[in-house]
Structure 1
Amino acid sequence: MKTKYFDLIDQTFDFPQEEFALNNNELHFHGIDLMELINKYGAPLKFTYLPKISDNISRAKGWFADAIKEHNYQGSYNYCYCTKSSHFKHVLNEALKNNIHIETSSAFDIDIIENLKAQGKIDDNTYVISNGFKRDQYVQNIARLINNGHKNCITIIDNYEEINLLSEVINDTYNIGIRIASEEEPKFEFYTSRLGIGYKNIVPFYNREIKNNPKVSLKMLHFFINTGIKDNAYYWNELLKCMKVYVDLKKVCPSLDSLNIGGGFPIKNSLAFDYDYAYMVSEIINQIKQTCDEAGVEVPNIFTEFGSFTVGESGGAIYKVLYQKQQNDREKWNMINSSFITTLPDTWAINKRFVMLAVNGWNKEYERVLLGGLTCDSDDYYNSEQHMNAIYLPKFNKEKPLYIGFFNVGAYQETIGGFGGLQHCLIPTPKHILIDRDKDGQLMTSVFAEQQTSEELLSTLGYDFSINRALVKEETILDEALEVLTKS
C-alpha cells in the first residue's frame, strides 16, 4: 500500500518537474538543496532565485518572436516589467540584463527610473510607460523625466484632466497613450474598470483634446484586463472590442502605432498547472493582425507589461512546523514558526494559492492537516490546495523537524506585507536570501536582509529602545553585584 508522502505526490502529478526534484527524500528547487539552505541560514526564510527572472523574460520574448514570424507580423515587440510587482534593486538589476522596458505606477517609481539611469542600467532609449492615476507629485516627476530628455516616456492617460496637468509642466512635446476602461469579468461586483476611459469615449476624447494639440502626440492604446491573459470567451471578446477602438482611432490618428496588452500571464500555482503560453501569444498576434488587415490599417507595435510573470516564480518561503495541535477528532493544526498574514499576505487577502510542498520527510507516511500562523488572528491560516481541497504533509514528529516550502511567491508579497515595516502582531519579517549562479553555473548565496529585530519594530512604533538597553544593563549590574555579595 502506497502511503508515503512521495507516493501521494508521484501518483497525483507528473513528478519530478522542471524546477522540482527529489534527492535523498529532500526537495531541490532549480538544483538548490533547500535543506542545505535551511541548515546554513535557518527558518523562517525567504529567498529569491535571480536566474529565473531572466529565464521567464527570455521565454516570453521567444514566444512573441515565433508568433511574429509565424504570422508575418510587421510590428515590433517590447517587453516591459511593471515595477509594482517588486521594486527591489536586485530584481530590477536582473530584469534589466535582458534589454527590457519599464512600466511605472506612482511618483516614486520615477525616482527609481532616474536612479537606474544614473547607474547606466537604462538610457533614453528605454521606454518608460507611466501608468496609473496621477496625483500632483507623479505629474511633476513625469515632467521632470521628460524635460531632462527622456523622450521615450509614454504617459498613459487615465482620465480627462491629465493632459492639461501634464501640458502645464512639460516644456516641449510629449507622447501619450490612452488606457481603455475595460469591462470587468461578469463575476465582478462592478461592470467597468475604475481606471481609464470608456470604449465609446476614446475617439471623441481624441478629437476634442488631442487632435489639434501641438504639444501632444498619441502613440499608444493601453488595454488591460484585471484577470490576466486567459483563453476564455471574456478575454477574446474584450480584445476584439479593444481592436475595434484601435482601428477607429488609427483611422483619425496617424501617430498611433502601438498597442499595450497589459494584464499579464499567469504563473504556476500548482504542480497540476497547465497553460499553453505559445498558443496564447500566437492567437493574440493572429487576432490583432486579422482585425487590422480587414480594416486596412497598419498593425501596431506590441507592448506587454509582465510583473508577476517576470518575478513571481523566482521567490520562495520556507517555514518550520513548530508544533501540532489536535483540536478535534478530524482537525490537526500544524503551527508554523511565522505568519501567513505578514509573510504571504496574498493567501489571506485574496485567497491566493501557491505551490506548497514538504522540504523533507518525503519517505514518511502522510496525513491531512491545516496550517496555522503564529498570530492571534483567526484568519492566519492556510488550509487548502486547489488540486485536492486539503493539505497533506508528512506526519509530524516533534523529534524530527518538518520544513515546508511555498514557491512562486516572488511578486507582491513584500510590498503588500510592508517589507521592513510593522507587521501584524509584531511577527518579524524573515531573513531574505539572494541566490544566483556564477559564470560556471555554481550557486552563490548572500543575505539580502536579516530578520527584523525588536529594536527596529519598537523604533518604528516611536519607542525609545535605549531605555530597554539601559534597563538590561542595570539588571546585569545588579545581578553581578548580587553574585559578588553571595560569594562573599
Structure 2
Amino acid sequence: MNTKYNNLIDQTYYFPQEEFSLDGSQLKFHDIDLMELVNKYGAPLKFTYLPKISDNINRAKDWFRNAIEKYNYPGSYNYCYCTKSSHFEHVLNEALKNDIHIETSSAFDINIVEKLKQSGKVTDETWVLCNGFKRDQYIENISRLLNGGHKNCLPIIDNYEELDLLSENIDGKFQVGIRIASEEEPKFEFYTSRLGIGYKNIVPFYKKQLEDNEQVDLRMLHFFINTGIRDTAYYWNELNKCLKVYIALKKICPTLDSLNIGGGFPIKNSLAFEYDYQYMVDEIINQIQLACEEAEVEAPHIFTEFGSFTVGESGGAIYEVLYQKQQNDREKWNMINSSFITTLPDTWAISKKFVMLAINRWNDEYERVLLGGLTCDSDDYYNSEQHTNAIYLPKFKKDKPLYIGFFNTGAYQDTIGGFGGLQHCLIPQPKHILIDRDENGELKTSLFSKQQDAEDMLKILGYNGKN
C-alpha cells in the first residue's frame, strides 16, 4: 500500500517542482538542505532566500519585454517594488540590484529612501511613487525629497486636500499622479475603495485643480485592484473603466504619459498553483494598446507595483512538532514550538494559506492532523491546505523529531507580526537567517536576528528600569 508521506505528495501533486526536491527522505528548497539549516541554527527559525527576489523581478521584466515586442507597444515598462511588503534593508538591497523603482506608503518610507540614496543604491533617476493617505509628516518628507532635487519623486494624489498641502511645501514645479478609487469585488463588504478618487470625479478634479495650475503637472494615472491581477471578468471590467478615464484625461492633459497598473501578481500558495503570467501580461498590454489606438491617443508608459510577488516567495519558516494531543476520537493536534498568530499572522487574520510540507521523514507513514501554536488563544491553529480540507504529515513519534516548513511567507508577516516587539503570550520571535549565493553559486548563510529572549521582552515592558 502507498501509505508513506512521499507517496501522498506524489499522488496529489506534480512533484518534484522547480523550487522543491527530495534528497532521500528530506526536503530541499532551491537546493537548500533544510535539515542542515535546522541542525546548524535550530528551530523555530525564519529564513529569506535572497536570490529569489532578483529572480522574480527579472521574470516579470521578461514577461513585459516579450509582450511589448509582440505587440510593438510604443511605451516603456517600469518595475516598482512596494516597500510595505517588507521594509528590511537586505530585501531592498537585493531588489535594487535589478534597476527597479520604489513605491512608498507612509512617511517613514521616505526616510528609508534617503538612507538608500546616501548609500548610492537609489539615485535621482529612481522613481519614487508616493501612495497612501498623506498627513503632515508624510507631506513634509515628500516635500523634503523633492526640494532636495529628487525630481522623480511622484506623489500619487489620494484625496482632494493633498494637492494644496503639497503645493504649500514644495518649492517650484513638481509632478503628480492620481489614484483611481476602484470598485471592489461584488462579494466585498463595501463597494468602493477608501483610497483614491472616484472614476467619475477624476476629470472634474483635474479641470478644477490641475489644468491651469502652473506649479503642477499630471504625469500618471494609478489603477489598483485589491484582489491583484487575475483573469476574471471583474479585473478586465475595472481595467476597461480605468482605460476610459486615462483616455479622457489624455485628450485634455498632454503631460499625462504613464499608467500604473497596481494590484500585483499572485504568488504560489499551493503545490497545485497554476497561473499563466505571460498570458496575463500579453492581454494587459494588448488591451491598453487597442483602447488607445481606437481613441487615437498615445499609449502610456506602464508601471507596476509588485510587493508580494517580489519578496513573498523568498521567505520560509521552519517549526518542530513538540507533542501530539489526542483531543477526541478524530482530532490529533500536533503542537509546534512557536505560534501561528505571531509568526505567520495572515493565517490567523485573513485565513491565508501557504505552501506547507514536512522537512524530514518523507519515507514514514502519514496521518491526518491539526496544527496548534503555543499561545493560549483558540485561534492559534492551522487546519487545512489551499486545495484540501485537511493536513497530512508523517506520523508523530516521540523518538523521531518532525520538522515542518511553511514557504512563500516573505511578504508582510514580519511587519504585521511586529518584528522585534511584543508577541502574543510573550512567545519569542524566532531567529531569522539570510541565505544568499556567492559569485560561484555556493550557498552562504548568516544570522540576521537572534531569537528573542526574556530580557528583550522585559525591556520593552519596562521591567528593567530603575524603581
Whether the aligned pair in 2 keeps the contact of 1:458 and 1:465 (CA below 8 Å) is no
What amino acid does structure 2 have at the position aligned with 1:73? Y
Q: Does 1:353 align with 2:353?
A: yes
- Once the two structures are superposed, the pairs formed by residues 77-92 of structure 1 within 5 Å of their partners are 77-92=77-92
- Once the two structures are superposed, the pairs formed by residues 155-170 of structure 1 within 5 Å of their partners are 155-170=155-170
Cα distance in 1, alignment partners of residues 58 and 189 from structure 2: 37
- Once the two structures are superposed, the pairs formed by residues 246-265 of structure 1 within 5 Å of their partners are 246-265=246-265
Partner of 2:378: 378
Deviations 1:440-459 (A, max 9, x none): 00000000000011111111
Larger radius of gyration: 1
Partner of 2:318: 318
What amino acid does structure 2 have at the position aligned with 1:159? N
Partner of 2:449: 449
- Tell me the CA shift for residue 224 of structure 1: 0.1
What amino acid does structure 2 have at the position aligned with 1:5? Y
Report the 3-state secondary structure (helix = DSSP H, G, I; strand = E; otherwise coil) of the residue aligned with 1:180: strand
What amino acid does structure 2 have at the position aligned with 1:242? C
Cα distance in 2, alignment partners of residues 227 and 415 from structure 1: 21
Cα distance in 2, alignment partners of residues 252 and 308 from structure 1: 35
What amino acid does structure 2 have at the position aligned with 1:87? H
Partner of 2:186: 186
Report the 3-state secondary structure (helix = DSSP H, G, I; strand = E; otherwise coil) of the residue aligned with 2:206: helix
Partner of 1:395: 395
CA RMSD of aligned residues (A): 0.7
What amino acid does structure 2 have at the position aligned with 1:433? I
Partner of 1:42: 42
- Once the two structures are superposed, the pairs formed by residues 126-165 of structure 1 within 5 Å of their partners are 126-165=126-165
Cα distance in 1, alignment partners of residues 389 and 356 from structure 2: 13
Cα distance in 2, alignment partners of residues 458 and 188 from structure 1: 41
- Tell me the CA shift for residue 465 of structure 1: 6.7
What amino acid does structure 2 have at the position aligned with 1:339? S
Whether the aligned pair in 2 keeps the contact of 1:455 and 1:465 (CA below 8 Å) is no
What amino acid does structure 2 have at the position aligned with 1:49? Y
Report the 3-state secondary structure (helix = DSSP H, G, I; strand = E; otherwise coil) of the residue aligned with 2:168: helix
Partner of 1:68: 68
What amino acid does structure 2 have at the position aligned with 1:305? E
Partner of 1:54: 54
Q: Which runs of 5 or more residues in structure 2 are unaligned?
A: none
Partner of 1:481: none
Report the 3-state secondary structure (helix = DSSP H, G, I; strand = E; otherwise coil) of the residue aligned with 1:265: coil
- Once the two structures are superposed, the pairs formed by residues 284-295 of structure 1 within 5 Å of their partners are 284-295=284-295
- Tell me the CA shift for residue 24 of structure 1: 1.4
- Tell me the CA shift for residue 155 of structure 1: 0.5
Q: Does 1:213 align with 2:217?
A: no
Aligned residues: 467
Cα distance in 1, alignment partners of residues 190 and 117 from structure 2: 40
Whether the aligned pair in 2 keeps the contact of 1:155 and 1:177 (CA below 8 Å) is yes
Partner of 1:405: 405
What amino acid does structure 1 have at the position aligned with 2:355? V
Report the 3-state secondary structure (helix = DSSP H, G, I; strand = E; otherwise coil) of the residue aligned with 2:59: helix
Whether the aligned pair in 2 keeps the contact of 1:179 and 1:223 (CA below 8 Å) is yes
- Tell me the CA shift for residue 466 of structure 1: 8.0
Cα distance in 1, alignment partners of residues 379 and 122 from structure 2: 43
Deviations 1:120-175 (A, max 9, x none): 00110000000000010000000000000000011100000000000000011111
Report the 3-state secondary structure (helix = DSSP H, G, I; strand = E; otherwise coil) of the residue aligned with 1:419: coil
Report the 3-state secondary structure (helix = DSSP H, G, I; strand = E; otherwise coil) of the residue aligned with 2:376: coil
TM-score (normalised: structure 1) = 0.95
Partner of 1:94: 94
- Tell me the CA shift for residue 386 of structure 1: 1.6
Cα distance in 2, alignment partners of residues 183 and 14 from structure 1: 37
Whether the aligned pair in 2 keeps the contact of 1:372 and 1:382 (CA below 8 Å) is yes
Q: Does 1:437 align with 2:424?
A: no
- Once the two structures are superposed, the pairs formed by residues 18-37 of structure 1 within 5 Å of their partners are 18-37=18-37
Partner of 2:366: 366
Cα distance in 1, alignment partners of residues 168 and 372 from structure 2: 54
Cα distance in 2, alignment partners of residues 382 and 240 from structure 1: 39
Partner of 2:2: 2
Cα distance in 2, alignment partners of residues 79 and 228 from structure 1: 16
Partner of 1:483: none
What amino acid does structure 2 have at the position aligned with 1:7? N
Q: Which runs of 5 or more residues in structure 1 are unaligned?
A: 468-488
Cα distance in 2, alignment partners of residues 262 and 428 from structure 1: 35
What amino acid does structure 1 have at the position aligned with 2:395? K
What amino acid does structure 1 have at the position aligned with 2:351? N
Deviations 1:211-255 (A, max 9, x none): 001110000000000000000000000000000000000000000
Report the 3-state secondary structure (helix = DSSP H, G, I; strand = E; otherwise coil) of the residue aligned with 1:440: coil
What amino acid does structure 2 have at the position aligned with 1:209? Q
Cα distance in 2, alignment partners of residues 153 and 294 from structure 1: 32
What amino acid does structure 2 have at the position aligned with 1:385? E
Cα distance in 2, alignment partners of residues 464 and 81 from structure 1: 40
Partner of 1:237: 237
Cα distance in 2, alignment partners of residues 130 and 417 from structure 1: 24
What amino acid does structure 2 have at the position aligned with 1:428? P
Partner of 1:304: 304
Identity %: 77
Cα distance in 2, alignment partners of residues 466 and 339 from structure 1: 32
Partner of 1:485: none
- Tell me the CA shift for residue 28 of structure 1: 0.2
Partner of 1:226: 226
Whether the aligned pair in 2 keeps the contact of 1:203 and 1:248 (CA below 8 Å) is yes
- Tell me the CA shift for residue 321 of structure 1: 0.0
Deviations 1:385-406 (A, max 9, x none): 1211100000000101000000
Q: List 4+ stretches of structure 1 deviating above 6 A.
A: none
Partner of 1:415: 415
Deviations 1:33-53 (A, max 9, x none): 000000000000000000000
Report the 3-state secondary structure (helix = DSSP H, G, I; strand = E; otherwise coil) of the residue aligned with 1:252: coil
